Structure 1
Amino acid sequence: MTVKLTVENALQAKEEIEKLETQGYSKDHIHIFAHFKERADDINDALDTSDVGMKEQGFLESMKNLFTSRGDELRSKMESVGLSKEEAATAEAELDKGKLVIIAHKPA
């Protein structure tokens, strides 16, 4: 099951992550997205959550993202952890407004 949440800041993200952990989600399967990569990296580091990488996306998709726009990269990563194309596009629009998107999934 994949859960998508939108929050305003890192404090709200921390609260939501704690709730997700009580529901059985592992921090290895909780991902925080921000429009700016540095912000996402800082928040993932601070909250000990996971960035979407080769494990979730696969080698070819990860390499492709090196040459695409940030928006395309974010949508691709969100799709690789369980969102549909439409959900990823909607979530990316929220990122454009400065919000954070949290996606949690349980491995199959």
Structure 2
Amino acid sequence: MENVYVVENGVQAKEKINQLVALGYTKEDLYVIAHDKDRTEDLSDGLNVNDVGLKEEGVFDKVANVFRKRGDELRSQFENLGLTQAEAEKYEEELDKGRVVVIGKK
């Protein structure tokens, strides 16, 4: 089961993560995704949560993402976390607007 939240910035992402932890999510259940790879890494490191990696993507998608455009890579990451193609497209559009997506996955 995935719960997906769109927030405006890292401060709101931290607040949402704290709310999800209070609801019983662990840091291993939580993912933060931003459009820019460096921002995703900075947020996930700073908030002590996951970014989408080999475990979620699998070897094929991880290798394929090296050759994909960033938008395609992001949609692939969303789908690997269990979202539908339509949901992945919707949330990738939110990332295009500079927003951050927080996903709680149990």
State the TM-score, normalized to the length of structure 1: 0.95
Aligned-residue sequence identity (percent) comes to 46
Deviations 1:43-65 (A, max 9, x none): 11100011111111111111111
Q: Render the CA deviation track for 1:36-90: whole Å, top value 9, x for unaligned.
A: 1111111111000111111111111111111100001111011111111000100
The answer to whether residue 66 in structure 2 is matched with residue 72 in structure 1 is no
How many angstroms apart in 2 are the aligned matches of 1:55 and 1:75?
16
- Name the counterpart of 2:81: 81
Deviations 1:74-107 (A, max 9, x none): 110111111110001000000000000111101x
Mark the runs of 5 or more structure 1 residues left unpaired by the alignment.
none
Find the aligned partners of 2:24 and 2:99 in 1 and give their Cα distance: 25
* Shift in Å, 1:29: 2.0
Moved more, 62-71 or 18-27: 18-27
Structure 2 Cα separation of the partners of residues 31 and 74 of structure 1: 13
Match of 1:28 in 2: 28
Amino acid at match of 1:43: L
RMSD (CA atoms): 0.7
SS of the residue corresponding to residue 83 of structure 1 reads: coil
Q: How does 1:3-82 map to 2 (within 5 A)?
A: 3-82=3-82
Q: What SS class does the counterpart of residue 67 from structure 2 fall into? A: coil
Structure 2 unpaired stretches of 5+: none
Count of aligned pairs: 106
CA distance in 1, matches of 2:42, 2:73: 18
Instruction: Extract structure 1 runs of 4+ deviating beyond 2 A.
Output: none
